Amino acid sequence: MQFCKDCGGVLNLFGNNENDLCSACVQQQKRMAQLLAPAAVVQKTETPAGLLAETVLSLENGKIVLRSKEGWELWSAQPGVSTTLQTMLARARRIYEIRLRRQKN
């Protein structure tokens, strides 16, 4: 007869058992390892400055277009329409993040 090295419970009445721990203790160790493991660091896709460095602002078919390095249209407006740079970058960044998520799936 073999016993668990952690809790002392019976492992196997007859024969050999390859594990030194019972299934309850193995599950407990797995849970503790998950709790003690460092949490995954969530990184933002790009900063607005980084996004701006890789984009191209152009006039296409009578509208102003901001395109990413991948060729995605991140923002557009008709000529003569006033928009702050902060608003334009916020919208472009949001669209860029959505496109990246869709590309990963």
Q: What predicted TM-score, i.e. pTM, was given to this entire model?
A: 0.51
Q: Give the percent of the chain with pLDDT over 90.
A: 16
What confidence tens digit (pLDDT) does each residue in 3-37 have? 788 888 777 666 566 677 787 888 888 888 777 76
CA-based R_g, the chain, Å: 28
Averaged pLDDT, 72-80: 91
Instruction: Report phi then psi at 27, rounded to 5.
Output: -65, -40
Give the start-end residues of each E strand in the chain.
Answer: 2-3, 10-12, 56-60, 63-67, 73-77
Closest CA to 46 of 99, 102, 105: 99
Does the pLDDT value for residue 47 go beyond 90? no
pLDDT for position 63: 93
The amino acid occupying position 98 is I
